[in-house]
Amino acid sequence: MQYGRETTDPQNEIFDILTSNGELTGETAARWLVHRNGLWHPAFHLWIAWSSPDGLRVLLQRRSLTKDTMPGRVDVSVGGHFQAGEFVPGRPLAPSVLAAIAREVREELGCAFEPSSVQWLGTRWSEATQANVCDREVQYLYLWLRHEPLVAVEPDPREVAALLAVSVRGLLELLEQERLSVEALVLWSSESGVEPTRSGEAVSLADLVPGRQRYWRLILRLLEQIEVRGEFPTELLELRDTSAAETGSDRIGFHS
């Protein structure tokens, strides 16, 4: 497949093909074909957050410039595909599913990960088009709520260009267009090596992966409510987003 530039993503990686409802079709295809033909396939997003003296913070990553989708954009803490045979519809905590997430955490963050520490938040159907790529994913959404920030990280520079710690409140205000940018602490950069730079970087809406503003607002509000209430919501998220439109409800259900 021709992207018009070099990519470090393995284009012959095999994915399961899904129906638009997220069920297995029994068919598989290579990554390049899945993205060229816009085939539905399974993926996940893992959000990592922690409390700090300045309020709740969330980890974001700037994608490597060699990624085949959304290069250089600021994205969720960890995102990845399930390889063929790993995804189990309706079983987000299945051993093969959690093992795949642990693999991606090692690849993207280079740190240890305990699968029992994650909470499943729900499912998102994502459709995004750019250049010669039509990316249709059924994403399982997870939260890793920590007591402290990640310290020992060593990301793969082929996957990640930088790791950023951002105020949840500040990021929400950016997404709600109450400010032009939010200050991010650079925890790691491919330009500086594995040692934290601890420098600041201004992140604007133009830096973020497009088509996800409603989704991000909902997750960030959810994080704030979890911190205040000390409990997870009673309802699982079901989101359907595209790069052209954002639809659906921002309601989050908690115990009364």
Convert the pLDDT of each residue in 64-97 to its tens digit: 998 878 899 999 999 999 999 999 999 999 999 9
pTM of the model: 0.90
Enter the DSSP assignment of 3: -
pLDDT digits (tens, 9 = 90+) for 197-245: 557 899 999 999 998 999 999 999 999 999 988 888 889 999 997 544 4
Q: What is the pLDDT of residue 198?
A: 59
| 38 has pLDDT over 90 | yes
| 127 has pLDDT over 50 | yes
| Burial class of residue 112, CB neighbours in 10 A (0-12, 13-18, 19+) | exposed
E-assigned strands of 24-131? Answer: 24-30, 40-52, 55-63, 74-75, 78-81, 119-130
Name residues whose C-beta falls within 8 Å of residue 119's C-beta, 6 or more positions apart in sequence.
142, 143, 144, 145, 232
Torsions phi, psi for 182 (to 5 deg): -130, 140
Instruction: Average the pLDDT over each of 3-7, 65-69, 118-122 and give the range with the smallest value.
Output: 3-7
| Helical axes 213-229 vs 168-175, angle rounded to 10° | 150
Q: What is the pLDDT of residue 230?
A: 87
Q: Are 101 and 115 in contact (CB under 8 A)?
A: yes
| 255 has pLDDT over 50 | no
* Arithmetic mean of pLDDT, 155-168: 93
Q: What is the pLDDT of residue 59?
A: 97
In the chain the domains, ranked by start, together with CATH numbers, are 14-229 (3.90.79.10)
Q: What is the pLDDT of residue 119?
A: 95
Q: 254 vs 198, which has greater pLDDT? A: 198
Name residues whose C-beta falls within 8 Å of residue 34's C-beta, 6 or more positions apart in sequence.
15, 17, 41
